[in-house]
Structure 1
Amino acid sequence: MTADPIDQALFPPFDDAAGFDRIRADLGAFLPAIRAVCERHGLAASGLAAFERGTNVVVSNDAGQIIKLFPPFLRHQFEAERLALGRVHGNVPVATPEILREGELDGWPYLVMSRLPGRTLEEVWPALGGAERAEALARIGEIMTAAHALPTGGLESLDLGWDAFVERQIAGCEGRHRRMRLPERLIAQIPAYLASARPLLPTSVIPVLLTGEYTPENLLVTQTGGAWRVTGMIDFADACLGPAEYDLLGPCLFLAAGSAELQRAFLVACGTGIADADLTPALSRKLMALALLHRYSNLGYQVRIEGWESQASSLSALEQLIWPFPVR
């Protein structure tokens, strides 16, 4: 990695993480830094466009490259993306970005990556029929299985430290969901609910590589013969090591969204040992507890079932709304 003394004016000022998020997608604010990266590495600085969504500064050029700037307080995400991409690229049955360059500008680490073709699954999901949705979820399960089978040596810095992590998440669970504006009637039930689910949670796990990105915004699809197929996966800044079950939540919440058949299509395709006989209320409770404890849990955004807030009078009811097992 190269590091040169660079004028601070390359980067706009901001007071805190919230201030950074407000300007993150403003190409003009980061144009001096982007141009400096392009000049340093001989990249095209034409056709620059900033991506609106995300956590870091992500800009594309017209040469099929992505420049991703990480603010100093998100250096851990740079390390996670760099390590995870180095492990999955070429080793899973889906395209992932290739890291072309990496470096640092005045304390801001960055990556230059190849840009993948396709549209996000988020864009096309509403138009997909039931069979296409089931095929997409089975495909995601296949990709996930391959990622979980990769060796984790050299990735130890990404380890969540699962048992201690769970204790911290339990301690902060009510506070987090109050900040995320979960209905108070549900927040009040969290301690008892988690106590009931505690024996179901994974413990003393042998960690696998979790990308954290099996969500429709970070899965790319292309159309072949009139059908959409998952062909790419992007954004590995949240990658970590932990139990395989932790990766199941994105597809279950964002995509299967209350359909028992779609949940089955995904869960049985994953390499976590789940079979039809395992699609039980106990599995529903385990996954709901993991969803509550997830480090980025925000059920108001993640649960894609219209009107679920009025339908779920309790966490148990919400659990069955999302994961209506057993499949009959």
Structure 2
Amino acid sequence: MPSDPSAPPAARSLFPAFDGPGEFDRIRADLPAFRPAILAVCQRHGLSTGGLAAFAHGTNVVVSNDAGQIIKLFPPFLRHQFEAERLSLARFHGKVPVATPEVLHEAELDGWPYLVMPRLPGRTLEEAWPTLSGPERIEALARIGEIMRAAHALPTEGLGPIDLGWETFVERQIAGCEARHRRLGLPEHLVSEIPSYLESARPLLPRSVVPVLLTGEYTPENLLVTRTGERWSVTGMIDFADACLGPREMDLLGPWLFLAAGSADLQRAFLCSYGYRITDLTPALRRMLTALALLHRYSNLRFQLRVDGWESQVSSLAELEQTIWPLSSR
């Protein structure tokens, strides 16, 4: 049927069309595609439109401007990440011994929720890590432990919408663990051990959990460092879209896998700063943490474990846990 020439033209969408999460991930850093939406947000809140630049890494659309502000757009299918970030940012800001973004504006545009925040100063720890000296690395891990201890002491009232639901979650993760790691390319001789390994570790997993506020993001991409004099120090933390309530042990994995794996000195600095005692650094702790690393909702050891050549050197999951966690109470 021919269209009515007298009808008004259809409104043009501010957002590009995409076919599912995979295609969104390919276009989320395409600034021209999202410029109409970014300009609309800027106009709504009186933000500068100069120097717009999209961040290449991440899960959502993140754009900065020349006024030191960050605009973060969440596609409708990631609305749960918007909720996690806005709730956790309000709880963290000014309550932990490190800078976290303050929410300047939160609203919605054509079904896409968004946040506007100030851009924190500093470089990512990922960028700076290769230049840090041994003592600076130990100091950084100890600092992360202090930050995490303060974060885990925050009240959790009102954060029920982001509760991980540990008991149900862990059973679901156990059921899908072998298939997940086979799909992600973990060496088959390790994948085949997963069911029996998890069964042996099951009694060690957190039980009767009193949940704490987890960021899931104590990783070098989301920790910021600044240089004072001749030393780097951890001064900021960003990206809380994966925040949730769950067992405190889950947050230990990021610093360990990305930064301290294979180094007993770094691991002891981190754990003791967090609040563990030397006598707590036991084989049982090592096994529990390895199991949690396999069960994490974003587990991908081929990407996360920063130990050179480990895939060709480790012949069993028992060897893997010793490679990751060479900690000892002795």
1:53-68 matches, within 5 Å, as 53-68=57-72
Superposed displacement of residue 325, structure 1: 2.7
SS of residue in 2 equivalent to 1:99: coil
| Residue deviations 1:150-183 (CA, integer Å, cap 9, x gap) | 0000001111111111000000101111221111
Cα contact 1:8–1:106 (8 A) shared by 2: no
1:72 and 2:76 correspond: yes
Cα contact 2:280–2:329 (8 A) shared by 1: no
Query: 5+ residue gaps in structure 2?
Result: 1-9
SS of residue in 1 equivalent to 2:279: helix
Cα contact 1:260–1:327 (8 A) shared by 2: no
**Structure possessing the higher radius of gyration over alpha carbons:** 2
2:4 equivalent in structure 1: none
Inter-partner Cα distance in structure 2 for 1:208 and 1:140: 16
1:249 and 2:253 correspond: yes
Please provide the CA RMSD for this pair: 1.0
2:294 equivalent in structure 1: 292
Cα contact 2:268–2:327 (8 A) shared by 1: no
1:265 equivalent in structure 2: 269
TM-score by length of structure 1 reads 0.96
Inter-partner Cα distance in structure 1 for 2:147 and 2:292: 21
SS of residue in 2 equivalent to 1:113: strand
1:139-288 matches, within 5 Å, as 139-271=143-275, 274-288=276-290
- Which of these residues, 279, 304, 314, is aligned with residue 302 of structure 1? 304
1:30-45 matches, within 5 Å, as 30-45=34-49
Superposed displacement of residue 7, structure 1: 4.5
| Residue deviations 1:91-146 (CA, integer Å, cap 9, x gap) | 00000011000111111000000100000000011111111101000000000000
1:41-52 matches, within 5 Å, as 41-52=45-56
Superposed displacement of residue 8, structure 1: 5.2
Cα contact 2:213–2:244 (8 A) shared by 1: yes
1:312 equivalent in structure 2: 314
How many residue pairs are counted as aligned between the two chains?
A: 321
1:94 equivalent in structure 2: 98
| Residue deviations 1:231-286 (CA, integer Å, cap 9, x gap) | 00000000000111110000000000210111111011114xx2101111111101
Cα contact 1:35–1:45 (8 A) shared by 2: yes
Change beyond 3 A, Cα 1:194–1:17: same
SS of residue in 1 equivalent to 2:179: helix
Cα contact 1:288–1:319 (8 A) shared by 2: yes
